[in-house]
């Protein structure tokens, strides 16, 4: 039986070393991502408003503003934050009233 794995690689589940191969692949990809992020310049601009009411929108604006890719776990966490806000009293409140002002000064 073949299973589809991220990054386009196919791994046979009948091969006893397939789980190790997959783990090695994931670790290699993580190292590549870390090395790539070392060469991406740190943002130097500061001081902008956060007019968003969703964390996903905020994360997208940060990506556009700084020109840096987001880690997939960041995307997952932003979706989780948005899900937690559903039905809350502050669901429609802009994030700049929730986020500590020193973080975006």
| Each residue's pLDDT tens digit, 17-57 | 667 788 888 899 989 988 888 887 766 666 556 677 788 88
2 phi/psi in degrees, rounded to 5 = -105, 140
What is the C-alpha to C-alpha distance for residues 18 and 10, in angstroms, rounded to an integer?
10
Say whether pTM exceeds 0.85: no
* DSSP conformation letters of 34-96: HHHHHHSPPP---------SSHHHHHHHHHHHHT-PPPHHHHHHHHHHHHHHTTSTTTTS-GG
pLDDT band at 6 (very low <50, low <70, confident <90, very high): very low
Q: What is the pLDDT of residues 61-79, one digit of tens each?
A: 888 877 878 888 888 898 9
Tell me 87's DSSP state.
T
């Amino acid at each position: 039986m073949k299973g589809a794995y991220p990054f386009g690689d196919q791994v046979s589940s009948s091969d006893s070393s397939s789980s190790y191969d997959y783990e090695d692949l994931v670790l290699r990809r993580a190292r590549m991502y870390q090395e790539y992020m070392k060469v991406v310049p740190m943002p130097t601009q500061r001081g902008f408003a956060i007019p968003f009411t969703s964390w996903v929108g905020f994360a997208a604006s940060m990506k556009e503003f700084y020109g840096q890719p987001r880690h997939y776990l960041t995307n997952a966490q932003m979706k989780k934050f948005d899900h937690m806000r559903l039905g809350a009293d502050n669901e429609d409140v802009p994030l700049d009233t929730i986020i500590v002002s020193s973080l975006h000064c």
